[in-house]
C-alpha cells in the first residue's frame, strides 16, 4: 500500500515538474534575444536531414496502402477509388502520424540524449552560472524548429505517399490514371490537408517539449541518459497517438 502511495506521489510530482517545464518553455518562446542561427541549425537538423527518411517511409506507406486498397476494391470493380482512399487517409492521419513517429525515433531520442549528456556533464549548470537560461538557449530553438518543420515534412509525405500510391495502382495494377486523379480531386478537401498539417505542428511541439524535458531531468551517468531517451521515445509516441485521437475527434466536429 505504501509502495502504491509512493508511485501515485511520484506520478503527480513528475506531472507537476513537467507542467512547470512546459510553462517555462512557453514563456521563453517570445522572449528576446531571438537566436536565428540556432533556429536555423535545428531546422536543418530536424527538417532538412529528415527528408530522405520521411520520403522513404511515406513512399512505402503509399505503395503498401495502394496495393491493399486496390486489391480490395477490385472485388467491387471500384479500383479508381484508391486515389481518394490513399489521399484522404494520408492527409488526415497517416502522413502526420508516420512523420511524427519517424521523427521521434530519429530526432526525439537524439534530443534527449544530447540534453541529458549536457545535464550529466554539468554543461546546463554552466550555462545557468553565466546567466544564460538553458531552456531559452537550447529548448526554444528545438521547439520552434519542430513546429515549423513537422507540417512541411508532413506536406511532403502527402505528396510522396501519393506518388507511391500512383506508381503501384496505375503503373503496376492497371488502375485508370484519369479515374485515380478524378476520385482524389472529388474526395479530398483542403480541410483534410489543413487538419493533418495542424496535427503535425501540435505533435512537433509535443515531441520537442517531452524529449527536452526528459533530457533536462536525465539521471546520472550513461545509464541515466539511456533510460531518459527510452522514456522520452515511449512517452512522446504514446502521447502523440492519444493527442491524435483527441484532435481527430475535435476536427471532425469543428471542420466538417
Partner 1 sequence: MGEIVRVENLFKSFGDNHVLQGASIAFEEGRITSIIGQSGTGKSVLIKNIIGVLEPDDGDILFHGKSMVHASAEERAEMRRRFGYLFQDSALFDSMTVAENIAFPLTEGRGEKDRVRIRDVVQEKLDWIGLPDVGDQYPAELSGGMRKRVGLARTLAVQPEVLLFDEPTTGLDPVLAETINELITKVNQEFGITCILITHDIQATFRISDYIGFLYDGKIQAQGRPDELSGTKHPVLRQFIANSFAELEV
Contact residues for partner 1, defined by CB under 8 A? 33, 117-118, 121-123, 125-126, 128-132, 137
Nearer to partner 1, 36 or 76 (CB): 36
Nearer to partner 1, 57 or 128 (CB): 128
Q: How far is the CB of 177 from partner 1 (least distance, A)?
A: 50
3-class DSSP assignment, residue 162: helix
Q: How far is the CB of 252 from partner 1 (least distance, A)?
A: 43
Q: How far is the CB of 117 from partner 1 (least distance, A)?
A: 8
Question: If you search the block for the grid coordinates 469543428, which residue do you land on?
Answer: 254
Rounded to whole angstroms, the Cα distance separating 68 from 209 reads 36
Our measurement of the distance from residue 34's CA atom to the centroid of its chain's CA atoms, rounded to an integer in Å, reads: 24
Our measurement of the distance from residue 55's CA atom to the centroid of its chain's CA atoms, rounded to an integer in Å, reads: 14
Burial group, residue 125, by CB count within 10 angstroms (0-12, 13-18, 19+): exposed
Rounded to whole angstroms, the Cα distance separating 157 from 41 reads 22
Strands (E), the chain: none
Nearer to partner 1, 71 or 126 (CB): 126
Rounded to whole angstroms, the Cα distance separating 71 from 223 reads 48
Q: How far is the CB of 120 from partner 1 (least distance, A)?
A: 10
Q: How far is the CB of 33 from partner 1 (least distance, A)?
A: 7
Q: How far is the CB of 131 from partner 1 (least distance, A)?
A: 5
Q: How far is the CB of 111 from partner 1 (least distance, A)?
A: 13
Nearer to partner 1, 21 or 65 (CB): 21
The DSSP letter of residue 34 is: P
Nearer to partner 1, 68 or 128 (CB): 128
Burial group, residue 92, by CB count within 10 angstroms (0-12, 13-18, 19+): buried
Under a CB-based contact definition with an 8 Å cutoff, are residues 124 and 198 in contact? no
Rounded to whole angstroms, the Cα distance separating 87 from 160 reads 11
Nearer to partner 1, 45 or 231 (CB): 45
Nearer to partner 1, 125 or 189 (CB): 125
Amino acid at each position: 500500500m505504501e509502495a502504491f502511495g509512493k508511485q501515485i506521489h511520484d506520478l503527480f510530482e513528475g506531472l507537476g515538474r513537467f507542467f512547470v517545464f512546459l510553462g517555462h518553455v512557453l514563456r521563453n518562446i517570445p522572449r528576446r534575444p531571438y537566436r536565428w542561427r540556432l533556429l536555423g541549425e535545428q531546422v536543418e537538423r530536424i527538417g532538412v536531414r529528415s527528408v530522405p527518411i520521411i520520403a522513404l517511409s511515406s513512399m512505402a506507406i503509399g505503395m503498401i496502402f495502394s496495393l491493399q486498397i486496390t486489391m480490395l476494391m477490385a472485388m467491387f470493380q471500384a479500383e479508381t477509388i484508391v486515389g481518394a482512399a490513399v489521399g484522404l487517409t494520408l492527409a488526415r492521419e497517416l502522413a502526420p502520424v508516420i512523420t511524427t513517429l519517424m521523427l521521434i525515433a530519429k530526432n526525439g531520442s537524439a534530443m534527449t540524449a544530447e540534453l541529458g549528456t549536457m545535464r550529466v556533464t554539468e554543461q546546463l549548470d554552466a550555462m545557468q552560472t553565466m546567466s544564460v537560461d538553458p531552456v531559452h538557449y537550447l529548448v526554444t530553438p528545438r521547439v520552434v524548429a519542430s513546429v515549423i518543420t513537422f507540417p512541411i515534412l508532413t506536406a511532403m509525405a502527402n505528396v510522396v505517399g501519393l506518388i507511391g500510391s500512383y506508381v503501384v495502382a496505375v503503373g503496376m495494377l492497371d488502375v485508370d490514371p484519369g479515374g485515380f486523379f478524378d476520385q482524389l480531386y472529388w474526395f479530398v478537401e483542403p480541410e483534410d490537408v489543413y487538419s493533418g498539417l495542424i496535427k503535425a505542428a501540435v505533435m512537433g511541439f509535443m515531441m520537442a517539449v517531452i524529449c527536452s524535458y526528459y533530457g533536462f531531468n536525465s539521471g546520472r551517468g550513461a545509464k541515466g541518459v539511456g533510460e531518459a531517451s527510452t522514456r522520452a521515445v515511449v512517452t512522446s509516441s504514446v502521447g502523440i497517438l492519444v493527442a491524435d485521437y483527441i484532435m481527430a475527434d475535435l476536427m471532425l466536429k469543428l471542420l466538417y
